[in-house]
Amino acid sequence: MKNLISKLGVISVLIIAMSMAVYAQDKVYKLKMGTTWGKTASPLIDTSIKMAELAKVMSNGQLQIRVDDATKHKSPLGILDMVKAGQYDIGHSASYYWKGKDIELLPFTSMPFGLTAPEQYAWFYHGGGLELMQKAYAKHNVLSFPGGNTGVQMGGWFRSEIKSAKDLEGLKMRIPGFAGEVMAKAGVLVTNIAPGELYTAFERNTIDALEWVGPSMDISMGFHKIAKYYYTGWHEPASELQFIVNKRAYEKLPKRLQEVLVLAFRLAAYDMYILNYDMNAKAWENMKKEFPDIKVKSFPDDVKQILQKANKQLRDEMAAKSPLLKEIFQSQEEYMKEIRQWSIISDYQYIKDNL
């Protein structure tokens, strides 16, 4: 009898130990992610959802991430604040939306005349970009990672051709953010109009031109039905979204799940770049089929020179106020000087030879 009870004791200890082991392996971490995107903003919201699915598979179900689109929290541009405050553990947005709060976060989405998508991924992962991004976000107690790339954003839709810099003077254009500041220096009357009212404003001549994203997202807005001139990109050559994470929430995760989460970010980001490349190609083909008279134009040389000069001037002014910003701009510029030489003799020359 005594023997049996002591056996029972050993057995109990075994059961408890095994329960703990099973529990630790199975423990589910429920995280909340807030995004800037509306329900139908493909491929942006799709990428948020895809990331949550990847994290679930890779973690064997231990990471369960609830994805809130912007209709849930009603604050599409408040993602950084909400993640910082812990209202959300994770955010999916774009760094340059917060330039008003922290100018040092601006360069991690895309800079005018800056890096292309593969160049920028190489900068993030092999040129010191990711480290600089963490440094800039550290003051917010937030970690930040690449979150998907749109590729080149087009320069926008124009009702009339821009033949010289003169044609920009007094032109009413919807182009928000830093690119808008650059355009303003070129004499453009920059306005901002809510997305829902853009089509009507454009149709009724309230504005003469507007910038949205690229074919994949422009097509559903219908701007190609109004304007004939589609200008090529200069201001956002490779807009990278960001996944951001509240540092405390991150540190509460076991190391393995931290690793898995970062891998899910990285894969979801690459996947979006490729998905959107395909979507752009299909949308552009469809636009041309429906409206064969769309004309793709690049800005004339004098306009380019003015924009480049304005961009440099605004950048220098910002850098003068922040040593970190100066460091980031320098890092991007030096890296671009090196990597662009390769882009030119590889993909660029290849496409040129086969035009």
3 binds its own copies (CB under 8 A): no
Beta bridge partners of 190: 173
Q: Any binding-site annotation on 236? A: yes
Would you say 78 or 215 has its CB closer to its own copies?
215
**One residue of 37, 158, 273, 329 binding its own copies per CB under 8 A:** 273
57 binds its own copies (CB under 8 A): yes
Nearest-approach distance from CB 192 to its own copies, in angstroms: 25
Applying the rule CB under 8 A, the residues between 72 and 131 that interact with its own copies are 113, 116-119, 121-122, 125-127
Would you say 189 or 262 has its CB closer to its own copies?
262
291 binds its own copies (CB under 8 A): no
285 binds its own copies (CB under 8 A): yes
Nearest-approach distance from CB 274 to its own copies, in angstroms: 5
Q: Say if residues 68 and 100 touch (Cβ distance below 8 Å).
A: no
**One residue of 25, 28, 74, 292 binding its own copies per CB under 8 A:** 25
Cα distances (Å, whole numbers) of residue 55 to 52, 68, 172, 189, 325: 5, 16, 44, 45, 32
Q: Which of 275, 278, 270, 267 is nearest to 53 (CA)?
A: 267
161 binds its own copies (CB under 8 A): no
277 binds its own copies (CB under 8 A): yes
Both structure tokens of 30: 């429920």
Nearest-approach distance from CB 275 to its own copies, in angstroms: 6
**One residue of 6, 9, 13, 18 binding its own copies per CB under 8 A:** 18
Would you say 50 or 84 has its CB closer to its own copies?
50
47 binds its own copies (CB under 8 A): no
